[in-house]
Amino acid sequence: MVRQLPYIAIAATFMGIGVAGEPLMPQRAILAAMAVVAITYAFRPVPTPLVAFLYGVFATYAVAYVQHTEADVQSAVAALAVGGFSAATVEKPRIWQTLALAGALIGTATFFIG
């Protein structure tokens, strides 16, 4: 059975890198993605809305921090957005792919625009 946390990890990784902005540091981005995936497998059971919210906030904020060793208000707003959408989609498995796609598209656009 597919779980929600891998989709949150995809959205959080792209949003974290997107709000961190230029320059992209591939080694740090890969390190942050690996940490997010490791945490994903630690919370393998089906998450509650609170766990999904906290995971989305932490993962996005952690990726942004690892990418540039500082996290600002923009990172916090993106982290709260990913966390909120993650908590709202806990009982809706068909929305998980949309969450991952939206996070990837918005994060990529934020990276190239900002």
Q: Domain residues of the chain, as ranges?
A: 5-113
What's the whole-model pTM score?
0.82
Q: Which residues are CB-contacts of 114 (< 8 A; sequence separation ≥ 6)?
A: 18, 19, 21
Summarised one tens digit per residue, pLDDT across range 2-47 is 577 788 888 888 888 888 887 888 888 888 888 888 887 776 666 7
- How big is the CA angle at 41 (ends 21 and 82), to the nearest 5 degrees? 40
Residue 24's H or E segment, with its range, is none
Residue 106 CA, distance from chain mean position:
11
Summarised one tens digit per residue, pLDDT across range 70-86 is 777 888 888 888 888 88
